[in-house]
Amino acid sequence: MALLPILEYPDARLKRIASPVTEFTPAIKKLVNDMAETMYAAPGIGLAATQVDVHKRVIVIDVSQDKSDLKVFINPEIIEADGEIVGEEGCLSVPQYYDNVRRAAHVKVRAQDASGTPFELEATELLAVCIQHEMDHLKGIVFVDHLSQLKQMRVKSKMIKRHREAARA
């Protein structure tokens, strides 16, 4: 397994739309393992392949306290969504920035696991939010895209300044 570099906003590669996984090869299993290791090390609770510059429809999530409940969603699609929840979100691609985002409170998702076996899962609360957040990445959407234009400009400016300062160091 290997730690993968995480793209940071406003990197244009975060806007790329991910392609479906059509073959469940050892490379996909390695990607899932590397993504999980990267997510845990960051530390985070979710990671989309887009964030590590792999434009395939793959996400990993673990919202458990002890990091013992890794969930893998390949080619995920939300087949039901209802209710509404507004909560503070952060993102490994937008470090040190948090803001409120409106999401569905309950989702039912259909996906495949790392072996290609289809499954359905109902989720509420943090898991539902995390699924929607990571699925947005697969569509080229970063959580700040849900914010006002003014907030988007502020975040973009902050991140550009951060990257400039890191490059000087």
Domain boundaries, the chain: 12-163
**Which pLDDT value is given to residue 166?**
85
Residues with active-site annotation: 134
**Which pLDDT value is given to residue 111?**
98
**Which pLDDT value is given to residue 1?**
73
Condensed to tens digits (0 to 9), the pLDDT of residues 79-137 reads 999 999 999 999 999 999 999 999 999 999 999 999 999 999 999 999 999 999 999 99
CATH pick for 12-163 out of 3.90.45.10, 3.40.1160.10, 3.30.750.24, 3.40.190.10? 3.90.45.10
**Of 42-46, 107-111, 161-165, the least confident:** 161-165
Condensed to tens digits (0 to 9), the pLDDT of residues 9-37 reads 999 999 999 999 999 999 999 999 999 99
Q: For the chain, give the mean pLDDT.
A: 96
Average pLDDT over residues 49-68: 97
**pLDDT level of residue 5 (50, 70, 90 thresholds):** very high
Residue 71: HSE in the Cβ half-sphere, 13 Å Cα cutoff: 21
Whole-angstrom distance, CA of residue 141 vs CA of residue 126: 19
**Which pLDDT value is given to residue 169?**
80
Whole-angstrom distance, CA of residue 116 vs CA of residue 21: 9
**Which pLDDT value is given to residue 26?**
97
